[in-house]
Structure 1
Amino acid sequence: MTVTKENNLNVSVLLNELKQANKQMEDVIKTINQIASQANLLALNSAIEAARAGEAGRGFSVVANEIKKFADQSLSTNKKSYEQIQNIQKKANEVIAVRTVDVAFDTIDKIDRNLFERNCDVQAWATFDAIKNCVQDPNNKEKASEASKFMKNIVDIYEVYYDMFAVDKSGKIIAAGVNTHLIGRDVSEREWFKETIRKNDVHVNDMYYSDMMNGHAMNYSCPIRDDQGETIGVFTTRFNWNFIYDIVDSVKVDSQSDIYLINSDGIVIASRDRSGILSQDLSRLQAVQSLKSGKKMGYTIENEFGNGQRIYAYCRTKGYNSYKGLAWSVIVGEVID
């Protein structure tokens, strides 16, 4: 049988139901323990009264001893049962944890694949004649207009981009897909431009808030090369971060579960409830500390004040094909107590 996300969710729900049933059994055993303890006390009191009665109480003493044996056996058996219940709880937690790690892995893998496509996009479009022609002849308004129309068409078709720009080697914006009022602006001091020129290769910025785009974004920048392979400019895109939530929101987890995407510093860059973006630091979690110590994937069971116990599964990006990733990780927190 193929295991789907829905199956995985049902497994988690069933395991939590098993744990609840297990806790109910634990309560039953506690009740039996109380009865056995009371029986033990009754046997003790009966033995004392039998001793006072002397010969007349001998038969009653035998009954008291049998009651004590029964109570002791019940307590001993219940102790073993309680240990088994605790073991079942532990194993159920471990199964939930393993499933949650799978969820974290699946989520970061989907994000990697999405961003890999964005990485491919910028490299492909940087080779198009409309882009190359406008930076080769930056004073030609007709070529700049053609490039802008080309980029606007891409933005409209792909939908996941705020905008894209063609920049000449001096750092001047020659064409823009949407924000054409930015044409002519000098961006030579921007980190993404300088790094693309310096590396002479694709450069990807970490997620940030773009005032220009009025939203969270990522920059993908690639050298524009002429027919001889010489770098003549930079083609750069602005990925709309909101589309990452298509992945985050599709993750099948319990309604009380948390999902976070964090950067290499442990700062939240996406969360299930959209809170704490670029402000919340999860470095306090043992799971994040494990990631910072070099672990790639795993889980921790952590006590949270006022929130009981939680499993925090984590998985660090391994990239996808030529896209190496930015050392991001997914954290999935699931309530277990």
Structure 2
Amino acid sequence: MGTTLEKNLNVSILMNDLKNENRQMQEVMKKIQDISMKSNILALNSGIEAARAGQAGRGFAVVATEIKKFAEISLHASKESEALINNIQQKANEIIAVKTVDVAYDTIDKIDRNLFERNCDVQAWATFDAIKDCLTDPTLEAKKTAQSFMNNIYEIYEVYFDLFVVDLSGEIIVASQNQSQVGKNMADREWFKETVRTNRVHVTDMYHSSVVDGYTMGYSSPVRNEAGDVIGVFTTRFNWQFIYDIIDRVKIDEKSKLYVINSEGYVIASKDRLGILETKLSNLKAVETVLAGRSQRGYTIENNRIYAYSLTEGYNAYKGKGWSVIVEESIV
């Protein structure tokens, strides 16, 4: 049994083949219509000549009349056939659109599940003694123990740029990789303020970080002592490049396009890697619809192209960031 995406791809290929054959049939029907119209003109001219011939042309007039009837029936039938062909074409487009919506949904769901794991990671690691100890008793030895623990995480998980421990004053006291960040104060950063204020995990949107020199997301969890009081923040920087492990596995036609957009409509990932945090797709009806909250999943047909969309539903405790996946498919 193939995966859902493989089935969707096969259906799209079959539907495109059907549409191509339909277009060929339309050309055939146009030729038949042309023949019918020419036959009708021929019958008309023949009738005129038969009338001129008088009694001698009566037999020919009968033939001309029958040719005219045949031409009219043929033209009517060809028009009915053309209407049916157009209907089949429309239904094929609708099938492709529905299957493309499935692709969009499947992609955002996989992204949500991946980011849910990152959400769990930061919460779990914030409970480890090595992290708590370097905040309650920030000796050099305690910090080295925390750094060793964080380095192990970094090596095992491979999907992070860096991990940091931040005390309640906002100062980074331990870094896994970038030691130049130690001693810097993060008290004015939203992720720090919100984590401490809400006593809950805070997740940033995707952004470009000059510190890690790449696209990233910050996951920050409060670190609590035995009494449950917040004593600091444990924060990670996810390497956004790993999202492309999901996107690159999405099987769509070479001419098709796939985008992940944020809640403002900006592209934050795409199959072709272009326009990241620069291109805004809010000019598309599909994007306008999903951003306005009028529909969470569906498609539009614009400029002979299908735009399927699916809004994040989050996964378990991870509620998502209001992102959507847009898949663009040609219907020409």
* Superposition TM-score, scaled by structure 2 size: 0.98
**Which residue of structure 2 aligns with residue 86 of structure 1?**
86
Is 1:269 equivalent to 2:268 in the alignment?
Answer: yes
Q: CA deviation at 1:152?
A: 1.1
Q: Distance in 2 between matches of 1:3 and 1:64?
A: 61
Amino acid at match of 1:177: S
Alpha carbons of structure 1 residues 293 and 181: separation in structure 2 relative to 1, 3 Å? closer
Within 5 A, what are the aligned runs for 1:10-29? 10-29=10-29
Deviations 1:77-115 (A, max 9, x none): 001100100010000001000100000000000000000
Amino acid at match of 1:222: S
Within 5 A, what are the aligned runs for 1:19-58? 19-58=19-58
Q: Pick from 306, 312, 320 the counterpart of residue 325 of structure 1.
A: 320
Is 1:334 equivalent to 2:329 in the alignment?
Answer: yes
Within 5 A, what are the aligned runs for 1:170-189? 170-189=169-188
Amino acid at match of 1:12: S
Deviations 1:191-220 (A, max 9, x none): 111111111110000000000000000000
Is 1:235 equivalent to 2:230 in the alignment?
Answer: no
Please say if residues 159 and 238 of structure 2, whose CA atoms lie closer than 8 Å, have aligned partners that are also in contact.
Answer: yes
Q: Distance in 2 between matches of 1:56 and 1:290?
A: 72
Amino acid at match of 1:147: A
Percent identical among aligned pairs is 62
Amino acid at match of 1:223: P
Q: Distance in 1 between matches of 2:324 and 2:11?
A: 24
Deviations 1:134-154 (A, max 9, x none): 01122x011011111111111
Where 2:119 maps in the other structure, the secondary structure is: helix
**Which residue of structure 1 aligns with residue 209 of structure 2?**
210
Q: CA deviation at 1:5?
A: 2.3
Deviating 4+ runs (over 2 angstroms) = 1-5
**Which residue of structure 2 aligns with residue 306 of structure 1?**
none
Where 2:104 maps in the other structure, the secondary structure is: helix
Where 1:114 maps in the other structure, the secondary structure is: helix
Is 1:118 equivalent to 2:118 in the alignment?
Answer: yes
Q: CA deviation at 1:2?
A: 6.3
Q: Distance in 1 between matches of 2:220 and 2:23?
A: 56
Q: Distance in 1 between matches of 2:277 and 2:190?
A: 19
Q: Distance in 2 between matches of 1:115 and 1:293?
A: 24
When the two structures are aligned, how many residues end up with a matched partner? 331
Deviates most, 189-198 or 73-82: 189-198
Amino acid at match of 1:234: V
Deviates most, 286-295 or 223-232: 286-295
Deviations 1:140-194 (A, max 9, x none): 0110111111111111110000000000001011111101221111111111111
Q: Distance in 1 between matches of 2:159 and 2:177?
A: 13
What's the C-alpha RMSD, in Å, of the aligned pairs?
0.9
Q: Distance in 2 between matches of 1:7 and 1:105?
A: 14
Where do 5+ consecutive residues of structure 2 fail to align?
none
Deviations 1:51-82 (A, max 9, x none): 11111111111111000000000000001100
Q: CA deviation at 1:28?
A: 0.4
Q: Distance in 1 between matches of 2:240 and 2:57?
A: 85
Q: Distance in 2 between matches of 1:87 and 1:293?
A: 31
Is 1:252 equivalent to 2:247 in the alignment?
Answer: no
Q: Distance in 1 between matches of 2:19 and 2:184?
A: 62
Where 2:245 maps in the other structure, the secondary structure is: helix
Please say if residues 8 and 100 of structure 2, whose CA atoms lie closer than 8 Å, have aligned partners that are also in contact.
Answer: no
Q: Distance in 1 between matches of 2:134 and 2:181?
A: 15
Q: CA deviation at 1:292?
A: 2.0
Please say if residues 192 and 220 of structure 2, whose CA atoms lie closer than 8 Å, have aligned partners that are also in contact.
Answer: yes
Amino acid at match of 2:329: E
Q: CA deviation at 1:8?
A: 1.9
